[in-house]
Amino acid sequence: MKLFLVNGFFICKDNRNMEKYVVEIETGLSAVKKALGVCRRVQEDPAHAQAFQKADRSPVTLADLAAQAVITATLLNTFPTDRVVGEEDAGLLRREAKICRAVLSVAVKEWPGLTEKTLSDLIDYGRRSFDTRGRFWTVDPIDGTKGFLSRRGYAVALALIDKGTVEVGILGCPGLGRRPAAGDNAGCILLAVRGAGARVLGVDGGDAERIRRSASVSPGKARLCESVEPSHAAHEIHAAIQRRLGSHVPPVRMDSQAKYGALALDIADIYLRIPRKRDYVEKIWDHAAGTRIIKEAGGRVTDIAGGTLDFSRGETLNQNQGVVATVGGIHDRVLSAVKGVVLEC
């Protein structure tokens, strides 16, 4: 068995793709760990734990901006020609010098040498045009900002996409433990490489453990995972879908892309994103990492029509409507229930 040490993690080189992407894995894990460090610092400092409003009225924190800068700096330091597609932009920092200085004070702890200009430039690097059919990284520095602010939980999401295929997915999930069934909630990092399986790692190092949801699940006992915020999830539609499946299990509610982690770690069996508006499109940074993790853990991910999620179209999944992720061999049953309920709405 060949092992390689990556940022304190021992990972088995048991697959050609795992060896092919060793440097990407090392760099990606380093970036996510640094971002988690940024997030911890912000949460621990009451002066920094506040939200600002973006142009679309959604919240953004110092941690979102600092984490995106640190992740981008880490990636470009190793892969200077790679594109990085991120959720945030530096417009707020360029307008508000005080906020810029506050973000910088957090970011330099993980990436020394940053200036106000390089900080803003790194964040805006994620908003530049890119070849959708080429190689690029997509990052959500804090997925679940409301959960981050309320300390319910959040995720740092990073994925490498090449020619429209998610090759590597990494999720840093402070609210999930490596062994949730045993009451572990000390935080974990989920890693998946196409064709090489999924692994769970502790946030502070140690061995990487393979994870796979191979056991079949009864639709009537399936656990559904959905967003806490009603504005982010069609709770009433989800309940109708559960009834069609014959399931009366209370939903598992959590924030962020950590819901993909919940499926991989046997906390839940179904994750749905049913759009409330027909013209709503999902963002790639909200699903790329989680999709790879579920597939490598033995599950399936499609849109609500059963189509493959298309990550080759830019920042959005504009060829898809909604998302259905499952484990336990129940995907077709769930899709049937989704289609039946959605057609009635």
Collapsed DSSP state (helix, strand, coil) of residue 186: coil
Tally: H helices and E strands in the chain: 11, 17
User: 231-259 burial, b for 16+ CB within 10 Å, e for fewer?
Assistant: eebbbebbebbbebbebeeebbbbbbbbb
Rounded Cα–Cα distance for residues 45 and 70 (Å):
19
Could you tell me the two tokens for 116? Answer: 């106000």
Collapsed DSSP state (helix, strand, coil) of residue 160: strand
Percent helix, percent strand, percent coil in the chain, to nearest 5: 40, 25, 40
Exactly one of 27, 74, 138, 145 is catalytic; name it.
Answer: 145
Of 283, 263, 279, 275, the closest CA to residue 328 belongs to 263
Main-chain phi, psi angles of 14, to 5 degrees: -110, 20
Strands 135-143 and 83-86, how do they pair? parallel
Exactly one of 27, 64, 138, 291 is catalytic; name it.
Answer: 64
Query: Is 45 among the catalytic positions?
Result: no
Instruction: For residue 20, give Cα distances in angstroms to 55, 294, 310, 319.
Output: 40, 21, 23, 30
Rounded Cα–Cα distance for residues 138 and 174 (Å):
20
Query: Is 143 among the catalytic positions?
Result: no
Could you tell me the two tokens for 249? Answer: 């299990």
Of 227, 62, 102, the closest CA to residue 154 belongs to 227
User: Catalytic amino acids?
Assistant: 64, 145
